[in-house]
């Protein structure tokens, strides 16, 4: 079993059918050769500013954490710049589990980005 398979198998909520999802008709963004492919879901005002609920992105080589993903999204286009202007206002989940922005990502991951939630 290779490292990627081991990491994916150990992750809570890992879905072995993720590859089928990644080949679906979600919007895709091509990047440089040698990167990884992730599914990104957006919620609340982040979704509004991004102009989409989700996408599949081929990330450039060197993006290894959620924080680096968010920085790349913010630099990619005007929508990303608006949505991720203040990284302190972004929360993340990886494979359905809350995670820090410093969590490492691997090929096939599902990353969810959303604003902090408060109650009253």
The span from the CA of 47 to the CA of 41, in Å, is 8
Structure tokens at 83: 């949505």
Residues 74-119: pLDDT tens digits?
999 999 999 999 999 999 999 999 999 999 999 999 999 999 987 6
Note if the pTM is more than 0.95. Answer: no
pLDDT of residue 33: 54
Which H or E element spans position 50? helix 44-50
The two most distant CA atoms of the chain are separated, in Å, by: 48
The span from the CA of 111 to the CA of 97, in Å, is 9
Structure tokens at 37: 């492919």
Q: Which residues of 6-44 are buried (b: 16+ CB within 10 A; e: fewer)?
A: ebbeebeebeeebeeebeeebeeeebeeebbbbbbbbbe
Q: Where are the domains of the chain?
A: 3-112
The span from the CA of 24 to the CA of 56, in Å, is 9
Residues 3-50: pLDDT tens digits?
444 334 334 444 444 444 444 444 444 444 568 999 999 999 999 999
> CATH number of the domain at 3-112, please?
3.10.20.30
């Amino acid at each position: 079993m290779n490292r990627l398979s081991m990491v994916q198998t150990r992750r809570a909520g890992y879905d072995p059918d993720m590859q089928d999802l990644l080949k679906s008709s979600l919007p895709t963004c091509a990047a440089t050769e040698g990167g990884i492919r992730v599914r990104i879901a957006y919620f609340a005002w982040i979704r509004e500013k991004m102009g989409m609920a989700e996408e599949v992105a081929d990330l450039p080589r060197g993006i290894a954490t959620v924080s680096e993903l968010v920085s790349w999204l913010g630099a990619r286009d005007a929508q990303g710049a608006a949505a991720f202007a203040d990284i302190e206002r972004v929360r993340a989940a990886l494979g359905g589990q809350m995670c820090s922005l410093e969590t490492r990502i691997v090929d096939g991951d599902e990353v969810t980005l959303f604003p902090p939630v408060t109650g009253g």
